[in-house]
Every structure is written in C-alpha cells, then in structure tokens.
Amino acid sequence: MHKMYDFDSIVIGGGMIGSSIAFGLAKQDEKVAMIDEGDNALNAARGNFGLIWAQGKGENHPSYADWTLQSVKKWPEFNNELKALTKIDTGFEQKGGFDFCLNQEEFEERIISLKHIAENSNEQFSYKMLDHEELEKKLPKIGPEVFGASYSSWDGHVNPLLLLRSLHQGFQELGGKLLIHSVNDIKYNDSYFSVETKNSVINSNKVILAAGFSNQNLAPKIGLKMSLFPQRGQILVTEKIKPFLDYPTGLIRQTNEGGLLLGDSHEDVGFDDSTSLQTMQQIAQRVTTIFPFLKDVKMIRAWGSLRILTEDRLPIYDYSKTCPGAYTISSHSGVTLSAIHALDIASYIAKDGKLPISLKCFSAERFND
C-alpha cells in the first residue's frame, strides 16, 4: 500500500482537532502527514480555555449530547495513552465541574435544560443542582450574589497547550510527519489525493480537512461544502495565587500552576481576534461577583480567539461521496472531543473508511435547502 502514495492519510490542520485525529491515525499504524500553517495562523487551539465539558451540551440535540458524553467517558483512557507515550502530564482532571446561576430564573432554566438532556440521553448523564448554601460548602469563597449552580461529575479540565504539545509529540514519536506549509490545492485522482503546497505535492490515500476556517476554501476541492462563522471569545489570565478552586467552572478555572483563566464571552466581530476593554471588563465584573475576593487579584494578560461555529453550533463530520477517502471535520469543542477524535474517528477512518450512520446527522448536508 505504501508504495503507491507518500502517505496513507494527510491531515490538513495541526490544531486540536487535526492533531487528535493525526495522532489517532498514527496509532492505527497509518503513515500520516499533518500539515499546519505555522506561527501566524488563526489557531483556535492556542486560545482554548481547557474545559472538558459535558453539562449543558446538546440541549436540543440528543445525538450531540451523547457524542459529547461518549468522548468525556473516553478521556481518562485517552489521557493515559498519551501520557504513557509522551511522558507529558497534561494536567487532566475529571473531578466534576460547576456552572453558576446568578439568579433564580437562571437556576430554574438550568434545571429544565439539564433534566431534558438527562432524560434524552443514552449515556446516563447525571448532574446535581446546588443552592447557595450547598454551593458554599463546596466552594467556600463563593460570593453572596450567586444563587446556586449546577454540578456534574462528568466535567473536567486539562491544560490545552500541554495537550496540543503532547498530541504533536506523540504523533511524531509514532512516526507521523509534521509539515509547516499552506495548502494551495487538493486534487482527487480517482484513487488517491494530491495535496499541493507552495513547494511540493504530497500524495495520499486519504485526506482529512481539520483546518478550522480554511476548511471552507478547501472543502469544495473534495466535493464537500461548509459554512463556518467566527465568534470571538476573550480570556483573561491572572497572576498565580494560592489554590482555592478545586473544580473547573464554566467561566473560571485555576490551572495547576495557580493562575486563573477567566472567560466565557461571546462576540460577533468577524475575524477580529484582538482584545477589547469592554469585554475584559464584563468578564472581570462577572468573576468578581462570583468570587468577590478576586477583586484584589491581578490580571497579567488577555487574549482573543475565534471559535469556529456552524449555523447550529453543532460539529461537522462529513465523508465525500465524489472523492471517497476525503473527510471534513469541524467543531468548536476541540478539547472535549479530542478523545473521541483520537480514538473513534481515527479508527473509522483507518479501518472502515466510511463514517458510521450515527454521525450522519452531523453532515454539512443538513444545511442544504
């Protein structure tokens, strides 16, 4: 098989999704090349918060809820494999997590939403609602204005940069080739693909597009379509402080080095990934409402990053009919889904070729008229 092409698979995009799949394929003994644009690419992976989040996902879409839960379940196994291979401690923890409710209305809406997800889930999703008193026992520094929170033992977090580094290192240790180039064209030659960069042409049996926004330009070349929209999220990082937050939450987590990551903002500003004082302030105000003692803690840097969203905020998993062997993958939950991408998706691609019917609902065809 190797004689006809340079590689079994070429993964275009070296971010969270691309590197998870490339790592998974390399583990399946495929000869894999991963092509990434380099330092100035938009790089959603570098702006990631680091949550491995189950609660609240797929409220109106049980298949997505279950897909998420399956990935969350596989995370410990996935992390162990990575650690055994690369020796890197990604800081993975899965002790559960909290999403706060600032008033009764929010609290009651949350109950309805989580109940709905649990009832429609095949994975036995579980959660607990805590009122202020119960919350204070778990998170002693919680502010008086916080009405309560939802907690799920399914939730966890990881250091996203260490995860990315570990995936890249693991990939290369398994024989994978990382190439830093922009992809100009992809040609399907009846049984193999030719990926053209500025200086070279690389041939493979399969090609997987995991290039974030660049997927939009590349997908048509392999007979697929996708529409993606940027949504900006800003994240603040504080100085390192004494550990006080044992659990990740939807908008604050404490890293294993002691710094806090503060976030959960959503803005429609096109492809602008700069920071804005207004949003930084909103994040600071929310966070100091939740943990008032944080008003004396200093922020040392902030950044903006673009989430890659589809119209319905669900992922895209597509397999090309006109160019068999070509796939497109897009999601803004690259960290949560990293496990199932590395384990299941890579396995589907390596073994059967096609994607399972259970993933058909995530085809981009759902956006066609």
Neighbours of 105 (CB within 10 A): 10
> Residues 28, 121, 172, 203: which binds other proteins (CB under 8 A)?
172
Question: 222, 323 in Cβ contact below 8 A?
Answer: yes
Is position 295 an interface residue for other proteins (rule: CB under 8 A)?
yes
Please state, in angstroms and rounded to a whole number, the distance separating the CA atoms of residues 175 and 194. Answer: 21
Residue by residue, what is the 3-state secondary structure of 129-161? EEEHHHHHHHCCCCCCCCCEEEEECCCEECCHH
Q: How far is the CB of 101 from other proteins (least distance, A)?
A: 20
Q: How far is the CB of 6 from other proteins (least distance, A)?
A: 18
Could you tell me which stretch among 5-13, 72-80, 208-216, 290-298 binds other proteins (CB under 8 A)?
290-298
> Residues 268, 278, 353, 356: which binds other proteins (CB under 8 A)?
278
Measured CA distances, 83 to 17, 48, 79 (Å): 18, 20, 6
Amino acid (one-letter) located at 128: K
Measured CA distances, 100 to 83, 117, 130, 198, 299 (Å): 32, 18, 9, 49, 22
Could you tell me which stretch among 31-39, 202-210, 324-332, 333-341 binds other proteins (CB under 8 A)?
31-39
Write each residue from 198 to 237 as x if it is in contact with other proteins (CB under 8 A), else as -, in one continuous string: --------------------------------------xx
Is position 275 an interface residue for other proteins (rule: CB under 8 A)?
yes
Q: How far is the CB of 275 from other proteins (least distance, A)?
A: 6
Angle between helices 62-86 and 160-173 (to 10 degrees): 60
> Residues 300, 321, 353, 358: which binds other proteins (CB under 8 A)?
300
Question: 47, 72 in Cβ contact below 8 A?
Answer: no
Neighbours of 23 (CB within 10 A): 33
By CB under 8 A, the residues from 82 to 101 that bind other proteins are none
Residue count, binding to other proteins (CB under 8 A): 47
> Residues 180, 201, 270, 367: which binds other proteins (CB under 8 A)?
180
> Residues 126, 216, 276, 363: which binds other proteins (CB under 8 A)?
276
Is position 353 an interface residue for other proteins (rule: CB under 8 A)?
no
Distance of CA 115 to the CA centre of its chain: 24
> Residues 165, 187, 225, 313: which binds other proteins (CB under 8 A)?
165
Q: Between 152 and 166, name the residue whose CB sits nearer to other proteins.
A: 166
Q: How far is the CB of 302 from other proteins (least distance, A)?
A: 6
Residues 6+ apart with CB under 8 A from 220: none
Residues 6+ apart with CB under 8 A from 46: 161, 164, 305
Q: How far is the CB of 256 from other proteins (least distance, A)?
A: 9
**Residue ranges in contact with other proteins by CB under 8 A:** 14, 36, 38-40, 46, 161, 164-165, 168-169, 172, 178, 180, 236-243, 257-258, 262, 272, 274-278, 280-281, 284-285, 287-288, 294-303
